[in-house]
Structure 1
């Protein structure tokens, strides 16, 4: 009998795998307030869980190409930033072809694309702070070939003076670094279980993020409801507690009534899970 021989994946393939895994894990996480999950469509009439999975899988080639570009170019400079922009737009085109025009992961392409490239640039320096710093330095560079029309999120961010996805990345993902990851680790230490820890991380992000998806759908009223409701769940003991689950159900119903889906927070949870996976990886990639 011959023993199976395990081969390490190339770095770009491994990072693409982890990025897609993060998107699928985020989609599957349940019960998320007003978001697509295993229960249903949340506040979205045009989305379902199978579509989220298909969309995530369609982005694997783009994430791999972003990692390869970072490895080949090897430095944080305009050529890499513009390569990431081009690959990201191609990835978005593939996503929209898969979803028949439904925007499932546009924000996640931006966030995870930057983090994939940041991880590929230095496989040995993979702490959350180091990764997000490299991603921020990339995000601060101006892509000369980026299309000029503003996304809905960018328009809403300007209207309300909120940070959009671009600014969140340029600041080094503070919602992830200061809220999501610390809460994820805290809930794990308290033995809340992995799914509850991830829900708590999402809620921690929701307590402070100026989520442009919520602002677009429900304005400041929806954003206030998200902030206050998410904090109430955590104050009640988090999603692992009975009181916390009651608060979580209340938040879900409130956001559904407002048609307010925290899609920006969901994208950042995927980023949080990706960073957590890299930080917890034993040895070299």
Structure 2
């Protein structure tokens, strides 16, 4: 039997691999991927993203350990997770990320991870520690319970993401969590369905990302260029899927067109990427609650 510490560390490493796998998925429309090793196109250095993801491992392990102590999604646990997350933000910034300027997808691009990825994965790691072996829909429900509690230790200054949500009525990362991560569950469904249809792992993950982009109220594009940018992201993603998705020649061509447009305008749907990371994390948790290796990298 694994020790509780090794289980916490395994959950943390699975979360880190999910972040890195999301970052390395290529080609992602408007988002950093393996084409951006020198940060020429999107302003985001993939190497720095890898380092900042790895720097989050101790924070994720601490979140898992914190969740095991009360054994239920209490307000006190939510506040402890918030405190751990703020420490992890600082560590991530020192390692190459810059969450302080990226809570809505804006700010200077410096090889950072999106703040929403830490929020999404932190809640899901805690849920997985609370409910070992639970099904994904059960874990997202537990995460919803955690997210429903207020964090009295959170900074009083509103973040860029919360300001965007208030201005445009977008749910944002917090709204997604309080609704039990519907887009994470949708991405998982697409992963399962496209794999069963014979898609490669890369194609399955791209279609999952596009599905999220097609309906998520991503605060990144809203922050960068307002509602027209979000509509372009959603319409473009739907167009790719309607053309057959990443598995078809027409869909691949539509994806390339959307990618070129978003990169040209500087619109990056980073919230959608954070949701995909959450889906990849849950996808890597088998019924036994012990991580498997699927998340380690896209095949094909």
- Normalising by the smaller structure, the TM-score range is over 0.9
Unaligned runs of 5+ in 2: 99-109, 291-300
Cα contact 1:33–1:255 (8 A) shared by 2: yes
Alpha-carbon deviation of 1:258? 2.3
| Alignment partner of 1:229 is 2:229 | no
Secondary structure of residue in 1 paired with 2:69: helix
Alpha-carbon deviation of 1:282? 5.4
**Counterpart in the other structure of 2:171:** 163
Cα contact 1:183–1:197 (8 A) shared by 2: yes
**Counterpart in the other structure of 1:215:** 222
**Equivalent residues, number:** 275
- 1:1-285 pair list within 5 angstroms: 10-40=6-36, 41=39, 44-45=42-43, 47-99=44-96, 101=98, 102=110, 103-124=112-133, 126-177=134-185, 179-278=186-285, 281=286, 283-285=288-290
Alpha-carbon deviation of 1:160? 0.7
Secondary structure of residue in 1 paired with 2:215: coil
CA distance in 1, matches of 2:9, 2:149: 25
Cα contact 2:132–2:288 (8 A) shared by 1: no
Superposed CA deviations along residues 68-96 of structure 1, whole A, max 9, x for unmatched, are 00111211111111110000000001001
Secondary structure of residue in 1 paired with 2:245: coil
Question: CA RMSD, aligned part only?
Answer: 1.7
Unaligned runs of 5+ in 1: 1-5
CA distance in 1, matches of 2:34, 2:237: 20
Alpha-carbon deviation of 1:213? 0.5
Structure 1 window deviating more from structure 2 (212-221 vs 22-31): it is: 212-221
Structure 1 window deviating more from structure 2 (252-261 vs 84-93): it is: 252-261
CA distance in 1, matches of 2:8, 2:56: 13
Cα contact 1:187–1:197 (8 A) shared by 2: yes
Cα contact 1:43–1:260 (8 A) shared by 2: no
